[in-house]
Amino acid sequence: MAKMDETKRFNVEDIVVEEDIKKKKVKKEDDKSKEGIVNEKVDKNLDIKKDTDLKSDLDLADKEELEQIVHNDFQGKTIVDVKIPESKTIGIASDHRGYNLKQKLTKYLNKKGYTVVDYGSDSRISSDYPEFGFKLGEAVANFEVEKGIAICGSGIGISIACNKIKGVRCAKVDNVKEIKYARKDNDANIMAIAGNMPLIRAKDIVDAYLKTPFSGLERHQRRIDMLNERA
C-alpha cells in the first residue's frame, strides 16, 4: 500500500501572528516615509531661514560699510546722510495754457497719496504766467511746500518767474534724464514743463523728480551756495 503523503498541519494562531508581523512591517515603512517627508520640509524651512539671516547680515554689513565713509575736508555730509524727502505735499501752478495738464497731474498725484496745493490758474481763460510762477516760488521759498511743479505754454516763461524768487531753483525740463540731473546736481526744488507735453511723459518726469535725491556732493553744494548768495 502506497505511503500516503503527510498532511501538513496549520496552526491558526501562527497565521494570525504572521499577518500581524506583516502589517507592522508595512506600517513601520509608511512611518519612515512620512518622517522623511517631514524632515525634508524642516530642512527646506531651515535653508530658507538661513538665506534670510544671511541676507540680513549682508544688508547690515553694507550699512556698516557705508557708515564708515570718511568725511573729506569740504563735504559736510556722507552718502548715508542723503535721504529722499518724506514730505507728501507738492505745490503746482500754471497759466491758461498749462491748465489742462495741471489738472491731470493733480489728479495723478492725489492717487499716489500726495497733497497738492494749487496756486492757479483756475481756468483756461487767458492769464499771465508770472503771477502764478511768483506764487509757487514764494510757497517753496517759505517752505509751505517742499517741491513745486510749474506749467505754461513752453515751460520757459513760468520757470523764469519762479527763479525770480530767492531760494528757488526751477529747472525747465523735457525728459526724465534732464530732471534727474536737475535733482542730483542742482537740487532743483521746482520743475517746469510745457503745457502740450503728453501726459504719459509728464507723469514719468514727475515720478523721477519726486524720487531722485540731491547727491550732496561738495562741488554741487558749493555751486548752489553761490547761486543763493547772488540772489
The whole-number pLDDT of residue 88 equals 86
Distance, C-alpha 154 to centroid of its chain: 30
Residue carrying the nine cell digits 503728453:
198
How many whole angstroms separate alpha carbon 136 and alpha carbon 166?
12
The whole-number pLDDT of residue 23 equals 63
Q: Tell me the domain boundaries of the chain.
A: 14-68, 87-230
Is the separation of the CB atoms in 230 and 197 below 8 Å?
no
The whole-number pLDDT of residue 230 equals 80
Is the separation of the CB atoms in 105 and 149 below 8 Å?
yes
Is the separation of the CB atoms in 74 and 216 below 8 Å?
no
Q: Specify the fold of 87-230.
A: Ribose 5-phosphate Isomerase B; Chain: A, (3.40.1400)
Contacts for 166-173: CB closer than 8 Å, 24+ residues apart: 166/141, 166/228, 166/231, 167/140, 167/141, 167/228, 167/231, 168/137, 168/140, 168/141, 169/224, 169/227, 170/137, 173/205
Helix axes 176-186, 218-230, angle to 10 degrees: 80
Alpha helices in the chain (DSSP H): 12-67, 99-111, 129-141, 156-162, 176-186, 199-211, 218-230
pLDDT by residue, tens only, the chain of 231 residues:
444 444 445 455 555 556 666 666 656 666 655 565 555 555 555 555 555 554 455 455 444 444 443 333 333 333 333 344 456 899 999 999 999 999 999 999 999 999 999 999 999 999 999 999 999 999 999 999 999 999 999 999 999 999 999 999 999 999 999 999 999 999 999 999 999 999 999 999 999 999 999 998 999 999 999 988 886
**Cβ partners under 8 Å of residue 25, min gap 6:** none
